[in-house]
Structure 1
Amino acid sequence: MNGFERRKQKKTEQIYSVSFQLFSQHGFQKVSVNEIAHKAKVSPATIYNYFGTKEQLYSDMLMNWMDKQLEQYGNILDSGLSFPEKTKEIMLSEAKNLKILSDEFQKDPSSEVSGLMQMMERYNEQKVLPFFMKFVATGKQEGYIHKDQTEELTMMYFTMFKNEMGRYLESSNQEHATRSIDQWVELFFYGLRRN
């Protein structure tokens, strides 16, 4: 990567960071390109040159944030932790990220940002699903997920569990909730009864 590309990448990351902060605080409609440019210390022309429109900036910023979260999950999955520990870390991170998205982006911009829902569906198919397949394969290889269990059902189970864990963490005493995470992971793998 040459100097120009490095500077462009740095500016793009600045714009993403500021955009995420402003969009999450004020919503899509109330944030202007000029405001983003001012806080990111770039010109509005730079934003238009890089992204074309505010809608494209929003979409790209959101995809960039999701890529970073997925990269973090991949690092956890590739770590030396046991599979239950990997699962716990991924579930906690995902519950936290869902809370960020629901709290920070309360107003649904899908009606304002053309094609956002389709882009999210494509993202899930192209990036989230392959990650989850790797997760399931790792669990099967290490003997924590039954080898005959389908990926579809495992994904549904994981999602259900993660969503409920997120609600539980949000509504209960944080110290108590943190102490009971290991019980959540135990329930995830072994159910109510363990032989």
Structure 2
Amino acid sequence: MNGYERRKQKKIEQIYSVSFQLFSKFGFQKVSVNKIAHKAKVSPATIYNYFGTKEQLYTDMLMNWMDKQLEQYERILDSELSFPEKTKEIMLLEAQNLKILSDEFPKVPSSELGGLVQMMESYNEQKAMPFFAKFVAIGKQEGYIHRDQTDEVTMLYFTMYKNELGRYWKEADQDHKTRSMDQLMQLFFYGLVGRVEK
């Protein structure tokens, strides 16, 4: 990457960072390209040159944020942690990220971002699902996920558990959450019966 490309990438990252802050605080409709440009210390023309429209900037910014979250999940999955610890870390991050998306990003009228739903579905298919397939393969290989379980059912279980964990995480105090986490992960892997010794 030459100097020009590096400077351009740095500007884009700055625009993404500022956009995320402003959109999450004020919502899509109340944030102008001029406001983003001023705070990012670039010209409005620069934003229009890079993204074309405010709608495209919003979509690209969200995709960029999701890529960064997925990179964190990949680092956790590739780490030396045990599979249950990896699962716990990924599940907590995912619950936290869902909270950010639902609480901090006011609803955007679908008429203004018609392509966002399709982009999210495409992202899920092209990036999130392959990551989850890798997660399940490691879990099966290490004996934490039964080999006969399909990826589809495993993902459904993971998603249900993560969503409820996110709700619980919002409501419980920090001390209670910390004490309960190991028990919640035990339930996640072994259910109410617990580990059956052979």
- 1:10 correspondence with 2:10: yes
1:1-195 matches, within 5 Å, as: 1-194=1-194, 195=196
Q: Deviations over 1:22-66 (max 9, x none)?
A: 001111011000000000000000000000000000000000000
Displacement over 2 Å in runs of 4+: 108-111
Unaligned runs of 5+ in 2: none
Do the aligned partners of 2:59 and 2:116 also contact (CA within 8 Å) in 1? yes
Distance 1:165 1:29 in 2: 31
Q: For residue 109 of structure 1, report the CA deviation from its aligned partner.
A: 4.3
Do the aligned partners of 1:27 and 1:105 also contact (CA within 8 Å) in 2? yes
Distance 1:90 1:41 in 2: 35
Unaligned runs of 5+ in 1: none
Q: For residue 178 of structure 1, report the CA deviation from its aligned partner.
A: 1.9
Distance 1:8 1:109 in 2: 31
Identity across the alignment (%): 79
Distance 1:17 1:111 in 2: 25
Distance 1:16 1:158 in 2: 30
Give 3-state SS (helix, strand or coil) of 1:180's partner.
helix
The number of equivalent residue pairs is: 195
Aligned Cα root-mean-square deviation (Å): 0.8
TM-score (norm 1): 0.98
Do the aligned partners of 1:144 and 1:189 also contact (CA within 8 Å) in 2? yes
Equivalent residue letter for 1:127? K
TM-score (norm 2): 0.97
Do the aligned partners of 1:77 and 1:135 also contact (CA within 8 Å) in 2? yes
Q: For residue 9 of structure 1, report the CA deviation from its aligned partner.
A: 0.4
Distance 2:48 2:71 in 1: 28
Q: Deviations over 1:99-128 (max 9, x none)?
A: 111111122343321210011000000000
Distance 2:154 2:108 in 1: 29
Equivalent residue letter for 1:21? Q
Equivalent residue letter for 2:39? K
Equivalent residue letter for 1:170? K
